[in-house]
Amino acid sequence: MAHVSEPTPVSTPKFEPYRGPAAGWGALRSVAAYWLDSKQPIKNLRALLKTNQHGGFDCPGCAWGDDPKGGRIQFCENGAKAVNWEATKRRVDRDFFARYTVRELSQFSDHWLEYQGRLTEPMRYDAATDRYQPISWDDAFALVAEHLNGLESPDQAEFYTSGRASNEAAFLYQLFVRSYGTNNFPDCSNMCHEASGVGLGQSIGTGKGTVTFDDFAEADAIFIFGQNPGTNHPRMLAPLSEAVRRGAQVVCFNPLKERGLQRFQDPQAIHEMLRNGSEATNTVFFRPALGGDMAAVRGMVKCLIQWDDEARARGEAPVLDDAFLGEHTDGLAAYKAVVAATPWEHIERQSGLSRDDIEMAAGIYRKAEKVMLCWAMGITQHRHSVATVQELVNLQLLRGNIGQPGAGLCPVRGHSNVQGDRTMGIDEKAPAWLLDALEREFGIVAPRRPGHNTVEAIAAMADRRARVFIGLGGNFAQATPDTELTHQALANCDLTVQISTKLNRSHLITGKDALILPCLGRTDIDQQANGPQGVTVEDSFSMIHASYGQLAPLSGQMRSEPAIIAGIAKATLGNRPVDWDAAVADYNVIRDLIARTIPGFENFNERLAQRGGFYLGNPARERHWNTPAKKALFTPNPLPEDLVHERIRASGQTPDLILQTLRSHDQYNTTVYGLNDRYRGVTGQRKVVFMNADDIRRLGLTEGARVDITSLWEDGRERRVTGFKVLPYDVPAGQAAAYYPETNPLVPLESYGEGSATPTSKFLAVRLAPSEVQDDVRLLAAG
């Protein structure tokens, strides 16, 4: 009988405020627990010491960059969780699948599924028995090729990419898919920072941040919007606390007073740990309404322009940077007119902040010579997210805070290579230069019509316009919005293929035919014909790093992502437009192909030898603007009339609350490491909703009561999740928060950002009602 792994026993559910700082002793205890639970602690300790080190492997967690002056320890608590979660001795093999039907596995929680361990051999779903059965790699590749070549059009296939995929895998993937004939590249960026890429691309000519790690040490002020670095990018806390210590301003805009944005105990600071001390990570904290950041920034801009007018009238030095504005920008007059037409009443109502608060923030900005703006999903997962990103750019342009040390724009990316995948060409709207280069270098006829993003791919599968889904990593079924619709869309497919390291829910939402193809992870040694191979990734600061696995794979049946892609490509296309076997035998060959195709990667293999990697460069950092006007552009977007969608308002529905979805501290994207959320005081549970105490009373609820949450949308479909426990929390009145993926069923597929198509997961109009579910038995029993 197959061995089944049971997670560490679930703690009794409880909720009590957390008083300590971020990181510190709590992080060390957490790391130790996950390290021991990996079942191979000695091997994993050696691996951890090679995390983000020269000659080691890049952390499989977030995309935060490495400190160029960093020491022996270059990983954080959540990075250690990610490494130990991947580098486990537990395995999911044919014996495991013989024990369970897919229906039976579907009853377990997401945490329990991934806890079972690493996938170790290719498996094919057998609908007759409702079980996965072993299949050879050659037969698996042939099956994929049969389905792809049997489609009426290449556009009937969807090729998803997770941000974990390496540059080498992503490049081969896009080359194969475009040679096959489609630009259908839904990817995880569509669900997170798409608005950043679109907004920055239109305003400054490049869709990436303009700062490097070293800029944090030179900034006079760092503004952080819609980000929770303590959980999502813990290594960011060190430069923030250092900035406060040296006298810089760190100004936070976040509805929730997240622990990492308050105090930080550096686990590598021995004296601080011994005295149990901690450092502040902010100097000022503002709590805007959900979706109110654009209005807050508009108010800051209004202040700066007014102060500039007053200074000029008095004959004093101007507040705005005339030299920069004249040489490097276009559209200032039209933008000023929009700002002047925006009344303070609108700004205060929509931002949720007082005029005094906004003037204070603007005053800090004005006094600082060098300012950085950082942001994450609290900015990008709204309907007006592109406009908000562009408002951040507008603010920086006014005083020339782009293209100088210690200043710039910093969208902090999520998964470790989500930015690199886009650089490699994972883009449903491929730029003409890329398609031209592919045709020139490989002799293909590249498809020119735009492909599907994530929302469009789900709609196409739901309508049966797409019949094959291939997922390069990730957990598409759980990461996406409108869960019930998405699951049905996947089930409509003739074939679903999941290239994965660990068991997850996407393997249980099958098409008529389905494959699980087990791949190597970042920690695994990648042995190919010409020896062990390394891959590369790109971090949020456009640094390119090499990554070399350190641990022997659990099974000889596991293959690397490049090898799997090459196997599918060869079976589908034959040995064109490249020798797929030669490319996989030595990844230097792939990197030479990248160097010939993608700007900035000249002498790619030679530059990888540089300790710490190499900087890809950013034209906007050098004040070169790749816009039609060859200047940075002010974008005169009006503030939204109302943040609640007009389709909801027209229906006459009134929300009880506006809900944002978020991660727990024991979670990375859809990977749930455990059922605790230390910084928010939650233990042993996930189906909770954080609410303001006044709202609890207003809605006639009580602490600990179970509620059903229904999102409002005007399409005749009910979107409801059940049995969520009410927890009183320091949330601004009218707002609420709950964990995803449990709340992804509430996000309507049609509710997405204008210009980005990113689901509006940070702004859901909801109603609450008492629930018949009074305990979450399945979650507690199954982990």
Written as six digits, the tokens of 87 are 């580098």
pLDDT in tens, 406-415: 999 999 987 7
Rounded to whole angstroms, the Cα distance separating 91 from 509 reads 21
pLDDT at 8 over 70: no
3-state secondary structure 504-543: CHHHHCCCCEEEEEEECCCCECEEECCEEECEEEECCCCE
How far, in Å, CA of 634 to CA of 651, rounded?
Answer: 36
Say what percent of the chain tops pLDDT 90. 82
pLDDT at 4: 64
CA 221 to chain CA centroid, Å, is: 25
pLDDT of residue 129: 97
Distance CA 29, CA 356 (A): 42
Please tell me the distance from the alpha carbon of residue 303 to that of residue 360, in angstroms, as a whole number. Answer: 10
* DSSP run (H or E) holding 442: helix 432-442
Partners of 92 in the β-ladder? 119
The Cα 455–Cα 749 span in angstroms is 7
Q: What is the pLDDT of residues 635-667, one digit of tens each?
A: 999 999 999 999 999 888 899 999 999 999 999
Tokens of 429: 């709207």
Query: Shortest CA distance to 386 belongs to which of 598, 112, 193?
Result: 193
Could you give the angle at the alpha carbon of 358 between the alpha carbons of 303 and 207, nearest 5°? 80
pLDDT band at 779 (very low <50, low <70, confident <90, very high): very low
CB-based burial label for 192 (10 Å; 0-12, 13-18, 19+): buried
pLDDT at 10: 63
Residue 5 confidence (pLDDT): 66
Burial zone of 504 (CB within 10 Å; 0-12 exposed, 13-18 middle, 19+ buried):
buried
540-594 pLDDT per residue, tens: 999 999 999 999 999 999 999 999 999 999 999 999 999 999 999 999 999 999 9
What helix, strand, coil percent values describe the chain, rounded to 5? 40, 20, 45
In which order are the strands placed within the sheet that holds 535-538?
Answer: 535-538, 543-547, 614-615
Instruction: Write out the two tokens for 225.
Output: 């919007």
Q: Is the predicted pLDDT of residue 361 greater than 80, yes or no?
A: yes
Q: What is the pLDDT of residue 332?
A: 98
pLDDT surpasses 90 at 2: no
Q: Mapping DSSP to helix (H, G, I), strand (E, B) and coil, where does residue 175 land?
A: helix
The confidence score (pLDDT) of residue 82 equals 81
- Rounded to an integer, the average pLDDT of 26-52 is 77
Q: Is the pLDDT of residue 777 over 50?
A: no
Residue tagged 């699980």 (tokens): 516
What's the pLDDT score for residue 1?
Answer: 39
Percent of the chain topping pLDDT 70: 97
Crossing angle for the helix pair 385-398 and 293-313, to the nearest 10 degrees:
20
Query: DSSP letter at 640?
Result: P
Tens digit of pLDDT for each residue in 720-729? 999 999 999 9
Which is more confidently placed, 75 or 777? 75
- Predicted confidence band of residue 781 (pLDDT cuts 50, 70, 90): very low
94/132 Cα distance (integer angstroms)? 8
**Higher pLDDT among residues 50 and 313, named by residue:** 313
SS3 488: helix
Alpha carbon 210 to chain centroid distance? 19
Higher-confidence residue of 70 and 134: namely 134
Other CB atoms within 10 A of residue 358 CB: 25
- Distance separating alpha carbons of residues 262 and 244, to the nearest angstrom: 11
Q: Grade residue 6 by pLDDT with cuts at 50, 70 and 90.
A: low
Residue type, 180: Y
User: Pick from 75, 61, 68: which is nearest to 28 by CA?
Assistant: 75
Q: How far apart are CA 219 and CA 235, in angstroms?
A: 18
Residue 751 one-letter amino acid = S
Interior/surface letters 7-44, b for 16+ CB within 10 angstroms, e for the rest: beebeebebeeeeebbbbebbeebbeebbebbebbebb
Hey, what amino acid is at 172? Answer: L
Residue 138 has pLDDT above 90, yes or no: yes
Exposure string for 520-542, b = 16+ CB within 10 A, e = fewer = bbbbbebebeeeebbbbbbbbbb
Place of tokens 């997922």: 471
Alpha helices in 130-216 (DSSP H): 137-149, 167-180, 194-204
Instruction: Give 156's contacts (C-beta < 8 A, 6+ positions apart).
Output: 465, 466, 467, 468
Cα 323 to Cα 337: distance, rounded to the nearest angstrom: 21
Distance CA 263, CA 241 (A): 8
Question: What tokens appear for 679 in the block?
Answer: 């910084």
> Which residues are registered as beta bridge partners of 530?
none
Q: Are strands 657-662 and 764-770 parallel, antiparallel or unpaired?
A: antiparallel
Helix 293-313 vs helix 332-340: crossing angle, to nearest 10: 110
Cα 650 to its chain centre, rounded Å, is 33
| Apex 621 CA angle, 617 and 627, nearest 5 | 95
In this predicted structure, what is the pLDDT of residue 775?
Answer: 65
Q: pLDDT digit string (tens) for 91-104? A: 999 999 999 999 99
Return the residue matching tokens 């640094």: 543
Q: How many CB atoms lie within 10 A of CB 96?
A: 22
Q: How confident is the model at residue 780 (pLDDT cuts 50, 70, 90)?
A: very low
Contacts of 375 (CB under 8 A, 6+ apart): 196, 224, 225, 226, 227, 389, 392, 410, 411, 412
513 beta partners: 495
Lowest mean pLDDT among 79-83, 137-141, 358-362, 497-501: 79-83
| Average per-residue pLDDT for the chain | 93
Indicate if the pLDDT at residue 734 is higher than 70: yes
* 573 membership: H or E segment, kind and range: helix 561-573
Give the model's confidence band at 782: pLDDT under 50 very low, under 70 low, under 90 confident, else very high: very low
Enter the tokens of residue 780. Answer: 């507690």
Contact 743, 364 (CB under 8 A): no
Give residue-wise pLDDT tens across range 459-473.
Answer: 999 999 999 999 999
